[in-house]
Structure formats: C-alpha cells, structure tokens
C-alpha cells in the first residue's frame, strides 16, 4: 500500500512540474513610449494590452452656498464657528482613546491596564479643566456628536468602557442637568451642515 502511495505522489509531482514547464507566457503589448516618458507607472493587462495608469488623490468640490435669508446665513456661520472650535478636541479624543486601546491590547496585566486608563482619564480631565469647561452648551452638544463621528462610539459608551456603568450613569445625569446628552450620535444626513463644514475645513488634509 505504501508503495502505491509513493507512486501516486511521484505521479502528482511529475505532472505538476510538467504543467509548470508547459505553461506559456501570455503575450502582452505595451503602448509606444515617447521621448519624454520617463516616469514609471503601474499598468493593467487588458486583453493583452498593458494600460498604464496613475492613482490620483481625491478631489473634493464644494459649491457656493446660497442662503435664503441673512438669519440663515448668520446661523450657519455661527455653527461653523462652533464646529471649528470643538473639532480639535474631538480629534484629540480620537487619537488618545485609540492609543489607549492599543496599549490595553498589548498589556495583559489588569493592574497595569487600570494605570493606563487612569493616565488617559487624567489627561482628558486636564484638557477639560483648562479648555473644555469654557465651552458653551451648544459647543458641548456638537462636541459629543463629533466624538461619536470620529470614534464610532458615543461619549457615554467611552465613559462606560473606561470608568464603568455607574460612573457613566452619573456623568450622564449631570450632563442632562446642564443641557448635554452624552449619548448623542452623529448622523451625516441630519447633521449635513456640520459634515459640510468639516469636509471643507482642511482638518483631514
């Protein structure tokens, strides 16, 4: 039985080697090059013809907005001011919590994980005490939405994950008293004015 298995294995190997040898390369045609064609680019084989191509960066075109009234224009520019004021905080929170998640993923020790969470919490609190506490209610509401936009999680979910459900509940209770909602989510359709401001602001260039 072992002998027959050996014969079968050799047959497969020889057949495979023969198949590799008998495979003929596909003839392809390249477009004629000009005397100034010195830049190397990618190419795709389309029915035997190599088509050169270059990837281009995304181009965002924003139209000029026409306002129905001076009041609508004033409201939009007021929203733009608030969005541009809080957007750096949302981006900071995004970078900081992404770093925290990375650190927690490679740190199996529970005590060390708590230290990492505490350090992140202290860093956020320092920023809160210095700058965020000066935000208006409207700016705070926009910030909670932007955090959900950047992290894909609400501020409430982040607090619950890092500090526990009870702390998240207490934070939410206090936030509701002063007009905030840590569970606010971001909807690109509903918040299309905010989305338009962000995409045209240059934060992601």
**52 falls within a domain:** no
Distance CA 82, CA 75 (A): 11
**59 falls within a domain:** no
Confidence of residue 10 (pLDDT cuts 50, 70, 90): very low
**165 falls within a domain:** yes
**21 falls within a domain:** no
* Lookup: tokens for 120: 């992140």
Domain count, the chain: 1
Distance CA 87, CA 77 (A): 15
Exposure string over 36-67, b if 16+ CB within 10 A, otherwise e:
eeeeeeeeeeeeeeeeeeeeeeeeeeeeeeee
**How does pLDDT run across 36-86, given as a tens digit for each residue?**
777 777 888 887 787 888 888 877 676 777 888 999 999 999 999 999 988
The pLDDT value given to residue 83: 92
**205 falls within a domain:** no
**56 falls within a domain:** no
**How does pLDDT run across 116-163, given as a tens digit for each residue?**
887 877 777 676 666 666 778 888 888 888 888 887 777 777 777 666
User: In terms of residue numbers, what domain contains 140?
Assistant: 70-199
**188 falls within a domain:** yes
The pLDDT value given to residue 6: 47
**How does pLDDT run across 184-198, given as a tens digit for each residue?**
888 888 888 888 888
**124 falls within a domain:** yes
């Amino acid at each position: 039985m072992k002998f027959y298995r050996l014969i079968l294995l050799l047959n497969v190997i020889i057949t495979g080697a023969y198949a590799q040898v008998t495979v003929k390369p596909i003839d392809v045609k390249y477009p004629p090059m000009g005397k100034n064609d010195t830049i190397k680019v990618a190419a795709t084989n389309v029915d035997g013809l190599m088509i050169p191509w270059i990837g281009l960066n995304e181009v965002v075109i924003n139209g000029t907005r026409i306002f129905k009234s001076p009041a609508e224009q004033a409201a939009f520019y007021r929203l733009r001011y608030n969005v541009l004021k809080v957007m750096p905080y949302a981006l900071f929170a995004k970078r900081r919590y992404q770093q925290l998640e990375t650190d927690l993923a490679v740190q199996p020790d529970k005590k060390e994980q708590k230290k990492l969470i505490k350090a992140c919490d202290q860093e956020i609190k320092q920023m809160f005490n210095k700058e965020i506490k000066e935000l208006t209610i409207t700016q705070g509401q926009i910030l909670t939405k932007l955090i959900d936009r950047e992290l894909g999680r609400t501020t409430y979910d982040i607090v619950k994950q890092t500090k526990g459900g009870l702390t998240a509940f207490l934070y939410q209770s206090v936030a509701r008293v002063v007009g905030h909602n840590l569970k606010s989510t971001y909807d690109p359709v509903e918040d299309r004015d905010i989305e338009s401001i962000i995409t045209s602001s240059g934060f992601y260039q």
